[in-house]
Structure 1
Amino acid sequence: MPRSERSPLLLAGLLAAGGIAHFAAPREFDAVIPRALPGSPRAWTYGSGVVELALAAGIAAPATRAVAARAAAAFFVGVFPANVKMAVDWRHRPAPLKAAALSRLPLQVPLVMWARAVARGGEGRS
Protein backbone atom coordinates (compact mmCIF):
# COMPACT_ATOMS: atom_id res chain seq x y z
CA MET A 1 0.00 0.00 0.00
CA PRO A 2 1.49 3.37 -0.96
CA ARG A 3 2.39 5.68 1.90
CA SER A 4 -0.13 8.26 0.66
CA GLU A 5 -2.92 5.73 1.21
CA ARG A 6 -1.79 4.71 4.72
CA SER A 7 -2.16 8.16 6.27
CA PRO A 8 -5.91 8.49 5.54
CA LEU A 9 -6.54 4.94 6.69
CA LEU A 10 -4.61 5.54 9.92
CA LEU A 11 -6.65 8.68 10.55
CA ALA A 12 -9.84 6.74 9.81
CA GLY A 13 -8.72 4.03 12.23
CA LEU A 14 -8.01 6.57 14.96
CA LEU A 15 -11.46 8.11 14.51
CA ALA A 16 -13.15 4.71 14.42
CA ALA A 17 -11.40 3.65 17.63
CA GLY A 18 -12.48 6.88 19.29
CA GLY A 19 -16.04 6.43 18.08
CA ILE A 20 -16.21 2.88 19.40
CA ALA A 21 -14.77 4.01 22.75
CA HIS A 22 -17.67 6.45 23.14
CA PHE A 23 -20.03 3.47 23.19
CA ALA A 24 -17.77 1.04 25.08
CA ALA A 25 -16.97 3.43 27.96
CA PRO A 26 -19.48 6.29 27.76
CA ARG A 27 -19.12 7.35 31.39
CA GLU A 28 -15.53 8.49 30.76
CA PHE A 29 -16.72 10.75 27.94
CA ASP A 30 -19.82 12.00 29.79
CA ALA A 31 -17.51 13.48 32.41
CA VAL A 32 -15.78 15.80 29.93
CA ILE A 33 -18.89 17.17 28.24
CA PRO A 34 -18.96 20.91 29.05
CA ARG A 35 -21.87 21.76 31.33
CA ALA A 36 -22.80 24.71 29.11
CA LEU A 37 -24.05 22.33 26.42
CA PRO A 38 -27.79 21.69 26.54
CA GLY A 39 -29.24 18.25 27.12
CA SER A 40 -27.83 15.07 28.53
CA PRO A 41 -24.06 14.48 28.54
CA ARG A 42 -24.75 10.90 27.39
CA ALA A 43 -26.53 12.19 24.28
CA TRP A 44 -23.45 14.28 23.45
CA THR A 45 -21.20 11.28 24.13
CA TYR A 46 -23.15 9.03 21.81
CA GLY A 47 -23.60 11.78 19.24
CA SER A 48 -19.89 12.52 19.08
CA GLY A 49 -19.20 8.78 18.84
CA VAL A 50 -21.53 8.53 15.84
CA VAL A 51 -19.83 11.55 14.27
CA GLU A 52 -16.39 9.97 14.73
CA LEU A 53 -17.57 6.72 13.14
CA ALA A 54 -19.12 8.61 10.22
CA LEU A 55 -15.94 10.64 9.73
CA ALA A 56 -13.88 7.44 9.81
CA ALA A 57 -16.07 5.88 7.13
CA GLY A 58 -15.93 9.03 5.03
CA ILE A 59 -12.14 9.25 5.23
CA ALA A 60 -11.73 5.56 4.45
CA ALA A 61 -13.68 5.95 1.20
CA PRO A 62 -11.64 7.78 -1.46
CA ALA A 63 -14.75 9.37 -2.99
CA THR A 64 -15.65 11.17 0.25
CA ARG A 65 -12.18 11.47 1.77
CA ALA A 66 -11.55 15.16 1.14
CA VAL A 67 -14.85 16.44 2.52
CA ALA A 68 -14.77 14.02 5.47
CA ALA A 69 -11.20 15.00 6.32
CA ARG A 70 -12.14 18.70 6.29
CA ALA A 71 -15.05 17.85 8.58
CA ALA A 72 -12.68 15.89 10.83
CA ALA A 73 -10.42 18.93 11.13
CA ALA A 74 -13.43 20.98 12.22
CA PHE A 75 -14.49 18.22 14.61
CA PHE A 76 -11.05 18.20 16.25
CA VAL A 77 -11.37 21.95 16.80
CA GLY A 78 -14.92 21.52 18.09
CA VAL A 79 -14.02 18.97 20.77
CA PHE A 80 -11.18 21.10 22.12
CA PRO A 81 -13.38 22.58 24.91
CA ALA A 82 -13.99 19.05 26.22
CA ASN A 83 -10.23 18.48 26.36
CA VAL A 84 -9.80 21.78 28.24
CA LYS A 85 -12.53 20.73 30.69
CA MET A 86 -10.79 17.39 31.20
CA ALA A 87 -7.46 19.10 31.90
CA VAL A 88 -9.09 21.43 34.43
CA ASP A 89 -11.10 18.65 36.09
CA TRP A 90 -8.07 16.36 36.31
CA ARG A 91 -5.66 18.94 37.73
CA HIS A 92 -5.73 17.27 41.17
CA ARG A 93 -5.45 13.69 39.94
CA PRO A 94 -2.23 11.66 40.16
CA ALA A 95 0.59 12.95 37.97
CA PRO A 96 0.25 10.36 35.16
CA LEU A 97 -3.47 11.08 34.72
CA LYS A 98 -2.93 14.84 34.93
CA ALA A 99 -0.15 14.55 32.33
CA ALA A 100 -2.41 12.52 30.03
CA ALA A 101 -5.16 15.13 30.27
CA LEU A 102 -2.75 17.99 29.65
CA SER A 103 -1.09 16.22 26.72
CA ARG A 104 -4.41 16.06 24.88
CA LEU A 105 -4.44 19.85 24.50
CA PRO A 106 -1.42 20.31 22.20
CA LEU A 107 -2.23 17.04 20.38
CA GLN A 108 -5.27 18.69 18.82
CA VAL A 109 -2.99 20.81 16.61
CA PRO A 110 -1.30 17.89 14.81
CA LEU A 111 -4.67 16.13 14.49
CA VAL A 112 -6.15 19.17 12.75
CA MET A 113 -3.09 19.47 10.52
CA TRP A 114 -3.19 15.74 9.70
CA ALA A 115 -6.86 15.93 8.74
CA ARG A 116 -6.20 18.98 6.56
CA ALA A 117 -3.31 17.18 4.84
CA VAL A 118 -5.54 14.18 4.18
CA ALA A 119 -8.17 16.53 2.74
CA ARG A 120 -5.65 18.07 0.36
CA GLY A 121 -4.43 14.66 -0.73
CA GLY A 122 -7.95 13.33 -1.13
CA GLU A 123 -9.31 16.02 -3.43
CA GLY A 124 -9.98 14.94 -6.95
CA ARG A 125 -9.89 11.23 -6.20
CA SER A 126 -12.78 8.89 -6.78
Structure 2
Amino acid sequence: MIRAAFRWLLAVFYAAAGYFHLANPEPFLTITPEWVPWPAAVIWWTGIAEIAGAVGLAQPFSAPLKRYAAIGLALYAVCVFPANINHFAMDLARKDSGAGLVYHIPRMVAQPIIVWLALWAGEVLDWPFARRTKST
Protein backbone atom coordinates (compact mmCIF):
# COMPACT_ATOMS: atom_id res chain seq x y z
CA MET A 1 0.00 0.00 0.00
CA ILE A 2 2.75 2.49 0.95
CA ARG A 3 4.87 1.36 -1.98
CA ALA A 4 1.99 1.95 -4.38
CA ALA A 5 1.41 5.41 -2.91
CA PHE A 6 5.06 6.33 -3.45
CA ARG A 7 4.94 4.88 -6.95
CA TRP A 8 1.98 7.13 -7.77
CA LEU A 9 3.65 10.12 -6.11
CA LEU A 10 6.76 9.58 -8.24
CA ALA A 11 4.62 9.15 -11.35
CA VAL A 12 2.90 12.48 -10.71
CA PHE A 13 6.23 14.17 -9.90
CA TYR A 14 7.92 12.88 -13.05
CA ALA A 15 4.90 13.64 -15.26
CA ALA A 16 4.90 17.24 -14.00
CA ALA A 17 8.67 17.54 -14.41
CA GLY A 18 8.41 16.17 -17.94
CA TYR A 19 5.67 18.64 -18.77
CA PHE A 20 7.80 21.55 -17.53
CA HIS A 21 10.81 20.33 -19.52
CA LEU A 22 8.67 20.46 -22.67
CA ALA A 23 6.58 23.55 -21.92
CA ASN A 24 9.35 25.79 -20.56
CA PRO A 25 12.82 24.41 -21.33
CA GLU A 26 14.70 27.67 -20.67
CA PRO A 27 15.38 27.14 -16.92
CA PHE A 28 16.72 23.67 -17.69
CA LEU A 29 18.89 24.94 -20.51
CA THR A 30 20.53 27.47 -18.18
CA ILE A 31 21.74 24.72 -15.81
CA THR A 32 22.79 22.23 -18.50
CA PRO A 33 26.58 21.78 -18.43
CA GLU A 34 28.39 23.25 -21.44
CA TRP A 35 29.81 19.86 -22.42
CA VAL A 36 26.32 18.43 -23.12
CA PRO A 37 25.84 18.27 -26.91
CA TRP A 38 22.59 19.59 -28.43
CA PRO A 39 21.21 20.88 -25.10
CA ALA A 40 17.77 21.82 -26.45
CA ALA A 41 17.27 18.32 -27.83
CA VAL A 42 18.57 16.77 -24.60
CA ILE A 43 16.10 18.83 -22.53
CA TRP A 44 13.25 17.85 -24.87
CA TRP A 45 14.14 14.16 -24.68
CA THR A 46 14.51 14.31 -20.90
CA GLY A 47 10.95 15.63 -20.73
CA ILE A 48 9.77 12.76 -22.92
CA ALA A 49 11.71 10.27 -20.76
CA GLU A 50 10.15 11.63 -17.57
CA ILE A 51 6.64 11.39 -19.00
CA ALA A 52 7.24 7.89 -20.38
CA GLY A 53 8.67 6.79 -17.02
CA ALA A 54 5.67 8.25 -15.20
CA VAL A 55 3.26 6.40 -17.48
CA GLY A 56 5.22 3.17 -16.96
CA LEU A 57 5.21 3.56 -13.17
CA ALA A 58 1.48 4.19 -13.17
CA GLN A 59 0.67 0.86 -14.84
CA PRO A 60 -1.29 -1.13 -12.25
CA PHE A 61 -1.30 -4.48 -14.07
CA SER A 62 2.08 -4.70 -15.77
CA ALA A 63 4.78 -5.58 -13.27
CA PRO A 64 7.51 -5.80 -15.94
CA LEU A 65 6.61 -2.37 -17.34
CA LYS A 66 6.64 -0.87 -13.82
CA ARG A 67 10.08 -2.35 -13.20
CA TYR A 68 11.47 -1.14 -16.54
CA ALA A 69 10.07 2.33 -15.92
CA ALA A 70 11.58 2.37 -12.42
CA ILE A 71 14.99 1.34 -13.74
CA GLY A 72 14.73 3.96 -16.48
CA LEU A 73 13.82 6.72 -14.03
CA ALA A 74 16.61 5.70 -11.66
CA LEU A 75 19.11 5.83 -14.53
CA TYR A 76 17.62 9.13 -15.61
CA ALA A 77 18.14 10.59 -12.11
CA VAL A 78 21.78 9.48 -12.24
CA CYS A 79 22.24 11.01 -15.70
CA VAL A 80 20.84 14.43 -14.76
CA PHE A 81 22.93 14.66 -11.60
CA PRO A 82 25.71 16.57 -13.45
CA ALA A 83 23.15 19.30 -14.28
CA ASN A 84 22.25 19.53 -10.60
CA ILE A 85 25.91 19.81 -9.66
CA ASN A 86 26.39 22.43 -12.37
CA HIS A 87 23.40 24.39 -11.05
CA PHE A 88 24.85 24.20 -7.53
CA ALA A 89 28.25 25.48 -8.70
CA MET A 90 26.74 28.23 -10.87
CA ASP A 91 24.52 29.46 -8.04
CA LEU A 92 27.28 29.51 -5.45
CA ALA A 93 29.52 31.44 -7.86
CA ARG A 94 26.96 34.25 -8.06
CA LYS A 95 27.43 37.27 -5.80
CA ASP A 96 24.03 36.65 -4.18
CA SER A 97 24.69 32.85 -3.97
CA GLY A 98 21.55 32.14 -6.01
CA ALA A 99 19.24 29.74 -4.25
CA GLY A 100 21.95 29.07 -1.66
CA LEU A 101 22.96 26.05 0.36
CA VAL A 102 19.51 25.74 1.96
CA TYR A 103 18.19 24.76 -1.48
CA HIS A 104 21.14 22.91 -2.96
CA ILE A 105 22.31 20.69 -0.09
CA PRO A 106 18.90 18.98 0.34
CA ARG A 107 18.68 18.65 -3.43
CA MET A 108 22.08 16.91 -3.58
CA VAL A 109 21.12 14.60 -0.72
CA ALA A 110 17.72 13.87 -2.30
CA GLN A 111 19.17 12.68 -5.61
CA PRO A 112 20.37 9.24 -4.44
CA ILE A 113 17.18 8.89 -2.40
CA ILE A 114 15.14 9.51 -5.55
CA VAL A 115 17.16 6.83 -7.35
CA TRP A 116 16.46 4.37 -4.53
CA LEU A 117 12.80 5.42 -4.28
CA ALA A 118 12.21 4.78 -7.99
CA LEU A 119 13.72 1.30 -7.69
CA TRP A 120 11.84 0.51 -4.48
CA ALA A 121 8.49 1.92 -5.62
CA GLY A 122 8.84 0.10 -8.95
CA GLU A 123 9.47 -3.18 -7.08
CA VAL A 124 12.96 -3.61 -8.48
CA LEU A 125 14.40 -3.94 -4.98
CA ASP A 126 13.10 -4.44 -1.46
CA TRP A 127 16.05 -3.07 0.49
CA PRO A 128 15.97 -2.19 3.33
CA PHE A 129 12.49 -3.56 3.90
CA ALA A 130 13.05 -7.15 2.79
CA ARG A 131 11.36 -9.68 4.98
CA ARG A 132 13.68 -11.83 6.94
CA THR A 133 13.23 -15.57 6.86
CA LYS A 134 14.05 -17.74 9.81
CA SER A 135 16.73 -20.30 9.21
CA THR A 136 16.77 -23.52 11.13
Separation of aligned partners in 2, 1:16 and 1:26:
15
* Root-mean-square deviation over aligned CA pairs: 1.9
1:83 aligns with 2:84: yes
Structure 1 counterpart SS, 2:31? coil
Alpha carbons 1:33, 1:44 under 8 Å: kept: no
Q: Provide the residue aligned with 1:49 in structure 2.
A: 47
Unaligned runs of 5+ in 2: 126-136
1:114 aligns with 2:117: yes
| Count of matched residue positions in the alignment of Structure 1 and Structure 2 | 120
Separation of aligned partners in 2, 1:28 and 1:108:
19
What displacement does 1:53 show? 0.5
Q: Provide the residue aligned with 2:57 in structure 1.
A: 59
Rg bigger for which structure? 2
Q: Provide the residue aligned with 1:98 in structure 2.
A: 100
Counterparts in 2 of 1:90 and 1:48: CA distance versus 1, 3 Å? same
What code does the residue aligned with 1:16 have? A
What code does the residue aligned with 1:19 have? G
What displacement does 1:117 show? 0.5
What displacement does 1:48 show? 0.6
Percent identity reads: 28
Unaligned runs of 5+ in 1: none
What displacement does 1:107 show? 1.0
Larger mean CA deviation between 107-116 and 2-11 belongs to 2-11
Q: Provide the residue aligned with 2:9 in structure 1.
A: 10
| 1:41-64 alpha-carbon deviations (Å, 9 max, x no partner) | 221111111110010001111311
Q: Which structure features the higher share of helix residues?
A: 1
